[in-house]
Structure 1
Amino acid sequence: MEKQVEAIVEWLRQQLKQSGAKGFVVGVSGGIDSAVVANLIKRAAPENSLGVLLPIYTKPEHMTDSQKVIEKCGIDSLTLDLTESHNVMYSYIQDQLKGKNEFNESTDQLAGANLRARLRMSALYTVATNYNYLVVGTDNAAEWYTGYFTKYGDGGVDILPIVDFTKSEVRELAKYLDVPEEVITKAPSADLWEDQTDEKEMGTTYDRIDAYLGGEEIPEKDKDIIELLHKRSAHKRDPLPQYKRKS
């Protein structure tokens, strides 16, 4: 892990040189992936790294975990509570759709959750522009393969330093980086709605996704779920379709 951390930190520094940016910003959620990234960018740019807490109806325990990560790795921080912004914007959109009798209750939870992720992305880029920083993503290999991220939300970033690492490898990185134990062991959650967890939403576990990505045999049911998630989310990873005009 020491060699891996050193290599990532050097890669991060190269990204700054190539882009002309001054530093890094990451959204800190209280989860293991953002905790690892916060530690990595702090090592890469000690004086020019920022962790941003972006609560939207966020449980106090998630905020507590976020603060523990911030304090332990010593990164500069900023808190932007977007709860009211989300409420005002989504309520307005809902009212307009209801006025046209076209409001779809079956997609209400997902639409509201995706708006949370996209508001957070917008806030991070606003902060990044202020400092001339790069927005650093927190997706790991399992999330990338299954598409477990919001398009133009938490998937809207400049660089992805841990996207080649499985969830189990991220846990090892977290232990090496001395991330708080309660953050390492908590159930992964994107904090998109009440009592939401990643594995409950995906229908499989990170351990099985990691095993599948490593070429191991897993139950057929889990294999089918993983491949379906991968297929459905291809549009998130592929370049945007572009019409080529006729000559």
Structure 2
Amino acid sequence: MEQKVEAIVQWLRDQVKETGVKGLVVGVSGGLDSAVVAYLIQRAAPDNSLGVLMPLKSSRESIDHGKKVMDSCGINHLTVELSETHNVLYSTIKEQVEEKNEFNEKNNQLADANLRARLRMSTLYTLATNYNYLVVGTDNASEWYTGYFTKYGDGGVDILPIVEFTKQEVREMAAYLGVPDEVVNKQPSADLWEGQTDEDEMGTSYDTIDAYLRGKEVPERDKKIIENMHARTEHKRRGAKQFHLK
């Protein structure tokens, strides 16, 4: 683990040097993956790394865990409250669609959640431009393969330092780095709505996805869920499809 951490930290330093920026910024959610990335970028750029807490319909626990992570790793940090901004923007959009009698109640919850992720991305890039930093992503291998991230939201980043590591490997890395135990051991959740968990939403567990990615046998039901998620979200990993005149 020491070698893996040192390799990531050196890679982060190389990205700073190659792109000509001054440092690195990450959004800290109070979850495992963003905690690990906060610790890693603080090691890579102690004087030029920034953790950003962006409360937006967030649980009290998530906010408290995010603050604890930033305090414990010693990263420079700030908080940008986005609840009012989100409420104004979403209510304005909803009002316009309702006037046309085209509001889709079925998709309302997901549209709301995705807007939150994209507002956070916009906030991080605004800060990144201010400080001349790179935006660092927090997706792990399990999330990347299944597409469990918002396109141009938490997936809208410059670099991905832990994308080759499964959820379990990230958890082991967190323990090695000294991430607070309550963050290491908490139930994974994007905190999209009250009681929401990643595994309930996906319909399978991270342990099962990790096993699948390692080439191990998993139940047929879970295998189908994982492969369907991967196929359905290919556009997220590929980026914008381009037209070429033949």
TM bracket (short chain): over 0.9
Bigger mean CA offset, 189-198 vs 222-231: 189-198
Report Cα offsets for 1:201-222 as digits up to 9, x if no partner: 0000000000000000111110
CA deviation after TM superposition for structure 1 residue 195, in Å: 1.4
Alignment-derived partner of residue 105 in structure 2: 105
Alignment-derived partner of residue 28 in structure 1: 28
Give the distance between the partners of 2:62 and 2:13, measured in 1 at CA.
30
Alignment-derived partner of residue 66 in structure 1: 66
Q: Which runs of 5+ in 1 are unaligned?
A: none
Structure 1 ranges of 4+ moved more than 2 A: none
Alignment-derived partner of residue 120 in structure 1: 120
Alignment-derived partner of residue 80 in structure 1: 80
TM-score w.r.t. the length of structure 2 is 0.99
Superposed CA RMSD: 0.6
Letter in 2 for 1:196: Q
Letter in 2 for 1:49: S
Give the distance between the partners of 1:59 and 1:212, measured in 2 at CA.
31
Letter in 2 for 1:199: E
State how 1:135-150 maps to structure 2 within 5 Å: 135-150=135-150
SS in structure 1 of the partner of residue 134 of structure 2: strand
Aligned residues: 246
TM-score w.r.t. the length of structure 1 is 0.99
Report Cα offsets for 1:150-208 as digits up to 9, x if no partner: 00000000000000000000001000000000001111111112211110100000000
Letter in 1 for 2:24: F
Q: Which runs of 5+ in 2 are unaligned?
A: none
CA deviation after TM superposition for structure 1 residue 242, in Å: 1.0
State how 1:106-185 maps to structure 2 within 5 Å: 106-185=106-185
Give the distance between the partners of 1:193 and 1:125, measured in 2 at CA.
25
SS in structure 2 of the partner of residue 25 of structure 1: strand
**Percent of paired sites with the same residue:** 68
Alignment-derived partner of residue 240 in structure 1: 240
CA deviation after TM superposition for structure 1 residue 240, in Å: 2.1
